[in-house]
Amino acid sequence: MAKTLEMQFMNEDGKTTTVSIENPIEPVDPQAVSDAMDIIVSSNAFLTPGGPIVEKKGARVVERNVEPVEL
C-alpha cells in the first residue's frame, strides 16, 4: 500500500495544481499540512503553467493498492 499526501492549490488562472508527498508521516497532522500549504502559497516557491500558486484548495491522503496478476 502506497500512500501519498496531495496538497491542492489554485493558481493565478484559477486552475487546480497539486503538490504530492510520498509516504507522509502518519497520522497526518491537519494543522501541519495547513501551515506547510500557507508557506508554499506565501513563498511563491512553485510556478505553474497557469502562473503562481495563489491559494489553498484542499488536501487529501491517497492510498494505492497494487496486486500483481500471475501469468
Assess contact for 46 and 40: CB atoms under 8 A.
yes
Q: What pLDDT, on a 0 to 100 scale, did the predictor assign at position 63?
A: 95
**Average pLDDT of the segment spanning 5-34:** 97
Q: What pLDDT, on a 0 to 100 scale, did the predictor assign at position 66?
A: 87
Distance CA 1, CA 15 (A): 30
1 against 6, higher pLDDT = 6
Confirm whether pTM is higher than 0.85.
yes
Q: What pLDDT, on a 0 to 100 scale, did the predictor assign at position 1?
A: 73
Q: Is the pLDDT of residue 71 over 90?
A: yes
